[in-house]
Amino acid sequence: SPKSFQPNGASEEALRCEIEALKQKDLALDQEIAQLFSEGYSLEELDKHISLLHEYNEIKDAGQMLLGKLAVIRGVTTKQLYPEYDLELSD
């Protein structure tokens, strides 16, 4: 691979940059969490919200899969089925 031909210094510098970027992301997330707590959110509420978002995404994925299969059976695009089921393209 191309990385194997890089001198050690270059790959070490890339790793340092990646580590620094991850530290900055961690700091930003900590600040976002602190902001949510200062707005009155509790850890339990945030956990519940995240859990509900995961459940919503799983249900949406299943619906998209079913629409895709129905579109194949009917020989149309998924997009063409949206009006039939009163769905918005942003759904």
What are the pLDDT digits (tens) for 20-36? 999 999 999 999 989 98
How much is the pTM? Answer: 0.53
Rounded to 10 degrees, what is the CA torsion of 29, 55, 80, 67? 140
CA distances from 38 to 24, 54, 73 (A): 21, 24, 51
Residue 57 has pLDDT above 80, yes or no: yes
**Residue 51 is which amino acid?**
S
- Locate the domains of the chain by residue range: 8-40, 42-90
- The chain-wide mean pLDDT, for the chain, equals 87
Q: What are phi and psi of 60, to 5 degrees?
A: -65, -40
